[in-house]
Amino acid sequence: MIIIKKCFIQLKRELWENKKGFLWTPAVVTLLLTLFTLYGVSNYQTMIHVKGSHWSFGVENHNSKAERLPSITATLNPIDRKKKEAIDLATDPRVVEEAIPAGIVTFCGIIFIPFSIVLFVYAHDTLFDDRKNREILFWRSMPVSETMNILIKLFMILFIAPTIMISLSFLSGFLVLVVSLIIFSATGALPVSDVAPFLPVFKSLFFLVELYGMALFSLTILLPLIGWIFFSSALAKKSPFLISTLVPVALIIIDKRFQRHADINFHIIDTLEAYEKMASHFLSWFSQYPDLPLDAHVVTHYLLALLIGGLLITATIWLRNHRYEI
């Protein structure tokens, strides 16, 4: 219980000191995206544009029966009739249920862009600022080990950040669906009698649970990168960013020079290319599961990446415990 209480206090401290990045930034981005989406929903009649003389649309279910919705074809004349058919299609529960996962991925992707910048800055500054602001002196006087301190910071990136992102996406998606039902019912696009069959569409929001698992696993793939940035933050005296970027660039240049002029291979470039292929394979596996088999060779590279990330985190802890200059 004492350890759990210490971890909870550390988490509260990290969230309080970084509330602008971890809470306010994603909250503001989510709010803006939600308002933009609701604006589009509230003006759906004027935002349907007719282009060309013909259009068609079909959605395929992923059930075993592979049921296919009938394609709707409309002609340019009259335009109002074509718009009405488009609205009917947009309010079809099966169409909406199929479209929600793609919308969720797009929504989370947009949120992740500013969030990734926040995490990048946080990983570079978190250990460096402790020494720069002399906060490390205070925390060394407390019964909190450097191991716990660094693991809590790692937990912020690997678990807290995706949890906040997915939670905000769920709240936004739920709000958009509720408001859409109200607007469509009020304007007659969705008769009140058709609201009940529409309610099971909300279960599509639980696609976020699957996306959450994918996000957690994807972040473990980045553990070597996170570990290296943490190590650079603990090592740097002036700029962690320069160390985290210039050292790899210098090693790549040295490896290229030795390969070209001395026929000596340090395997730095080969290692980075193998790491990039492993990450790309896992991302493809996520999007095509279970159709795409997972190569055992890729799994081995993934385990090696976890080992390297763990070694870098261990080196960071050692450096924090044995570096006394501020």
Instruction: Give the model's pLDDT for residue 99.
Output: 61
54: which strand partners?
75
In the predicted model, what is the mean pLDDT of residues 143-169? 87
Q: Which residues contact 208 (CB under 8 A, 6 or more apart)?
A: 104, 108, 166, 169, 170, 173
When pLDDT is cut at 50, 70 and 90, the band that residue 72 belongs to is very low
Give the range among 12-26, 91-105, 221-235 with minimum mean pLDDT: 91-105
Check pLDDT > 50 for residue 194: yes
Check pLDDT > 90 for residue 262: no
Distance CA 262, CA 284 (A): 37
Check pLDDT > 80 for residue 315: yes
Q: Which residues contact 164 (CB under 8 A, 6 or more apart)?
A: 22, 23, 26
Annotate 204-243 with b (16+ C-beta within 10 A) or e (fewer).
Answer: bbebbeebbebbeeebebbbbbbbbbbbbbbbbeeebbeb
Instruction: Give the model's pLDDT for residue 209.
Output: 81
Helices and strands (DSSP H and E) totals, the chain: 14, 2
When pLDDT is cut at 50, 70 and 90, the band that residue 244 belongs to is very high
Give, for 176, the enclosing helix (H) or strand (E). helix 161-187
Would you kindly state where each structural domain of the chain is located, as residue ranges?
2-221, 225-322
Q: What are phi and psi of 69, to 5 degrees?
A: -70, 145
Of residues 217, 223, 180, the one with CA closest to residue 202:
180
Instruction: Give the model's pLDDT for residue 228.
Output: 95
CA 233 to chain centre: 23
Percent of the chain residues past pLDDT 90, beyond the cut: 22
Which residue type does 228 have? W
CA 197 to chain centre: 32
| String of DSSP letters for 115-168 | HHHHHHHHHHHHHHHHHHTTHHHHHHTTT--HHHHHHHHHHIIIIIHHHHHHHH
In the predicted model, what is the mean pLDDT of residues 63-82? 41
Give the range among 122-131, 176-185, 232-241, 245-254 with minimum mean pLDDT: 176-185
Of residues 157, 169, 154, the one with CA closest to residue 27:
169
**Rg of the chain over all Cα atoms, to the nearest angstrom:** 25
When pLDDT is cut at 50, 70 and 90, the band that residue 51 belongs to is very low
Distance CA 144, CA 151 (A): 12
User: Residues 121, 123, 129, CA angle at the centre, nearest 5°?
Assistant: 80
Instruction: Give the model's pLDDT for residue 317.
Output: 92
pTM of the model: 0.76
Instruction: Give the model's pLDDT for residue 190.
Output: 58
- Please, what is the end-to-end C-alpha distance for the chain in angstroms? 33
Of residues 7, 240, 32, the one with CA closest to residue 143:
7
